[in-house]
Structure 1
Amino acid sequence: MNNVRAAVLDDLDALSVLLDDYRQFYQQQSDLKGARYFLSQRFGLGDSFILVSEEAQGKISGFVQLFPGLSTVGMNARWTLNDLYVLPEYRSQGVGRALMSAAADLAQDHGVTRLVLMTQVENKRAQRLYGALGWQRNTAFYSYLLDVNQRE
């Protein structure tokens, strides 16, 4: 049985490994030092919410990270669920579902009216989970990206 809780600084080592694995899932090169630095910044700046799933033996099996933002049109808070990762050996055991549910509860506790996320088109497993949890695919807006370092 897992317990979802807010990540704390003592989780930094284990969480860094998970973030590095997560990035590799998205075809990024392993960079454990960079993952640790990135998470250290999040803890230091307090600019994201990180929840972890902790198993009975104390092992962290997954995490979800949310970044607060605002909606001008809605004139309210809208958080981006930017990251969800579960170790392969804990998948299909309800860990992702528990993390997603805890993220929604946290948002609701903070008065946030909407969570948004993006996932790769090929990530069918995650899409099935999101759909099963009531998330709706956005068909009203296109998503665009700009790499500002690659502009001409």
Structure 2
Amino acid sequence: MTNDENIVLMKADLDQIDLVADLFDKYRVFYEQPSNVEEGKKFIRERMENQQSVIFLAIEKQEISVRPLGFVQLYPSFSSVNLAKILILNDLYVDQSARRSGVAKSLMQKAKEHALETGAKELTLETASDNHKAQHLYELIGYEKDEEHFYYNLLLN
């Protein structure tokens, strides 16, 4: 957890869409997508309005403003085999200026708390095979690498 008392974690709503959109754009650029803040904002707005995801936002309170530090986005899903609700931790991003400060760990803890509060039986995620820093964090806080399954994707566009 972060020790800075000026850092606040909150469930984002439409009032924070601009704060989330900037971080979301940086996240997408990290994964080699072209920058497009407006399309990202539209995407985030649709997820929020349709209650298709939950976003937790880390902000730093400053004298007259707030600075977005990071976010985590969760999508609901289900496991037919386990007859249970699961959450997919689809997106985690911390601004370069806030890395190694505990923000990512705090966001991951918030995601876990939300999963427990909403009755999910599993919190699952994936990351790029070369994202070793993220993998280290996930394993440090208790996630286990799935060695039994292969994942396949069919790109439709």
* Shorter-chain TM-score tier: over 0.9
Q: CA deviation at 1:5?
A: 1.2
Counterpart residue number, 1:47: 52
Q: Distance in 1 between matches of 2:118 and 2:96?
A: 31
- The answer on 1:80 being equivalent to 2:88 is yes
Q: Residues 18-65 of structure 1, C-alpha deviation per residue, up to 9 Å, x if partnerless?
A: 100000000000011110100110111011010001113222200000
Structure 1 regions of 5+ residues with no counterpart? none
Q: CA deviation at 1:113?
A: 1.1
Q: CA deviation at 1:131?
A: 0.5
Residue pairs, 1:16-31, within 5 angstroms: 16-31=21-36
The code of the aligned residue for 1:82 comes to N
The code of the aligned residue for 1:118 comes to E
Q: CA deviation at 1:140?
A: 1.1
Specify which of 66, 70, 82 is matched with residue 62 of structure 1.
70
> Would you identify which runs of 4 or more consecutive aligned residues in structure 1 move more than 2 Å?
none
Counterpart residue number, 1:98: 106
Q: CA deviation at 1:3?
A: 1.6
| Superposition TM-score, scaled by structure 2 size | 0.93
Q: Residues 89-146 of structure 1, C-alpha deviation per residue, up to 9 Å, x if partnerless?
A: 0000000000000000000000111011010001001001001000000011111110
**Identical pairs, percent:** 35
Matched residue count: 149
Q: Distance in 1 between matches of 2:53 and 2:31?
A: 20
Counterpart residue number, 1:132: 140
